[in-house]
Structure 1
């Protein structure tokens, strides 16, 4: 998928429209949502206007503040089901834009389950690029996170810890602490990431 097709695919998700609709339905101003999420009004406005593709940590904050599951932003729920299957061709890859802003998390991710809104876990396929230490962006969100490295060498960092993870290694951690990842090779490290966040 080329960059233009990717942009169209992401816009087709209407993530920004869904954020705005939820915000207005709950009678929140941008300032209210900013206070609930810790995100700036300017960033929220850019998200609502589909100018910014939010990374997972940002979407998790929005989902929690708006009391929906993360999958709400990707697809309409199939109601009445107890088993949900996501085929390979149904996965939507969310890539970064060509011109990103300083301080944005730099990775590619795919939501592996997009049909059930009220699930307790959010599984993703993530590609972490190689970065200089100075370019690593630390994020945090309430909950816990599990990472299984499929390919490459991945570095995990918090304020006081650095771990090197090889293919086949796993890490489970409290995601409320600031954390960051980078590939230690000249190609992206690939991983399955499962995020759990407490619902309101």
Structure 2
């Protein structure tokens, strides 16, 4: 748990959300209404008790009118080329358990620290035991997913696509979409998000 808390503080997602919300003179109730997320959940996120999944973070980013990559940038980092080394502990973005129930997936940014990105690459791990509640989201932009291992189901605009290791998919994020693992094995994939506000 101490290691997890250190990683949460490294990302500073909660304080960034609070500052952006306050800069825009929004209350937690205002943000709740814009995102359709509960006030208690938003408060937990701002207080670094919960790291939001990508879908939730996208909803918050949209409501705050900032690109998703805002939460993965470093203020003074304007590198033209960013190399991410294997095992870089700053990259891990783990989701804690809520009420004792493991959350649907884990992810970490593959370009953490790069400022002014136009896309955001992630390594995503889908747990088939925890993705039954995966909710559809939609936002401006496009997404790409390459399946490294396991089996993943993408629901997009009413169509269902089953993806196995080696498969890839590129989709319009304006359409409602959701992802979940199928079978009994944990699935891994590389996801690239391009969002427009």
Q: Partner residue of 1:34?
A: 32
In structure 1, what is the Cα distance between the partners aligned to 2:76 and 2:85?
14
Offset from partner CA, 1:98-155 (integer Å, 9 cap, x none): 34588x960010111122333221111001111488x231231312211100112222
Q: Is the 8 A contact 1:126 1:193 kept in 2?
A: yes
2:63 equivalent in structure 1: 65
- 1:167 maps to 165
Q: Hey, what does 2:85 align to over in structure 1?
A: 87
In structure 2, distance between residues paired with 1:132 and 1:24 = 33
Q: Give per-residue Cα distances to partners, 1:61-91, cap 9 Å, x unaligned.
A: 2223334343332352344432222222155
Residue 69 of structure 1 contacts residue 117 of structure 1 at CA under 8 Å; is this kept in 2? no
- Give aligned pairs, total: 195
CA RMSD of aligned residues (A): 2.6
Instruction: Give me the whole-angstrom Cα distance separating, in 2, the residues matched to 1:132 and 1:194.
Output: 22
CA distance, structure 1, for counterparts of residue 174 and residue 100 of structure 2? 23
**1:11-67 CA deviation, whole Å, 9 max, x = no partner?**
332221111112112222222323333323222112111122101111122223334
